[in-house]
Amino acid sequence: MSSPRIALIHATPVAIEPIVDAFTRLWPEARTTNLLDDSLAADLAAEDRLTERMIDRFVTLARYAHGCGADAILFTCSAFGPAIEAAQAALNIPVLKPNEAMFDEALAAGKRIGLLATFAPSIPALRAELEQMARRRQLELEIKTQA
């Protein structure tokens, strides 16, 4: 079997280098490909919420990546949880959010969690995702946020 092709879908160009470097260090066998729609973050900031049109764009990006031969997709921007979930539902390959492993570790560490973000519009989606994971584990959290 050949090495898996992982599509990395970015909403900002600054995300590309760190994630490619991480794959090179931690999973060098993976063949990564990068897709960038740098208008997504600006559109979210302008709308102050995820719109149906933005969600459709995520599904379109995921379908495009799959059509290009991706075996799995990693979205690298944490502000778009519900849009990533729509892409997960639309495809039959793994489609991952960037926060899952980090939130697993945070929930294992304790119930008081500080959630910091550099992109303020990502806070509501991040908080909702973290709270949803905690509910599934029947955990009560105290979350403080700062952007």
Q: Domain limits of the chain? A: 5-96, 100-142
- CB neighbours of 28 closer than 8 A, spacing ≥ 6? none
Cβ–Cβ under 8 Å, residues 143 and 115: yes
For the chain, 147 residues long, give each residue's pLDDT as a single digit of tens: 689 999 999 999 999 999 999 999 999 999 999 999 999 999 998 998 899 999 999 999 999 999 999 999 999 988 898 999 999 999 999 999 998 889 999 999 999 999 998 888 889 888 999 999 999 999 999 999 998
Cβ–Cβ under 8 Å, residues 73 and 91: yes
Domain 5-96 falls under CATH 3.40.50.1860: yes
> Which residue bears the tokens 């946020």?
145
